[in-house]
Amino acid sequence: MSTPLEMISKDATVMEAVQQMREKDINALVVRTTPRAIVSSTDVLDAIADGKDVSKLKVTDVMTTDVETATPDLYMEEVAAMMTSYGIKHLPVVDDDYVGMISSTDVTAHLS
């Protein structure tokens, strides 16, 4: 799991989100909203593929909401099964509040 958790405001621009992801060498940021949300590089690519001008979009325009989460006590095999089942690459880890993010790369590294 990656910590500290990188977050961004729902009101930030998509360009700010992409710059933060590039600076931190990550592919997703948690957006502190209710329901829980993340913005990922895939969300940005989908917006570009749909012909949207990402320089004018806000994070809230492209983020994924109602994201699945994991608890810190899950086994890596359970996390891998969740990611496969839901077709996702990032899973926020929550224990009352956010504590980190686990990616498919983390799972692959751990299980190999």
Secondary element (H or E) of residue 54: none
Contacts of 73 (CB under 8 A, 6+ apart): none
Averaged pLDDT, 28-50: 94
Residues in the chain, overall count: 112
25: DSSP letter: T
Letter for the amino acid at 94? V
Per residue in 65-112, pLDDT tens? 989 999 999 999 999 999 999 999 999 999 988 999 999 988 988 887
Complete domains list, the chain, with CATH: 5-109 (3.10.580.10)
The answer to whether the beta carbons of residues 47 and 62 sit under 8 Å apart is yes
Please, which pLDDT band fits residue 55 given cuts at 50, 70 and 90?
confident
Sheet holding 7-8, edge to edge: 7-8, 28-31, 37-40, 64-65
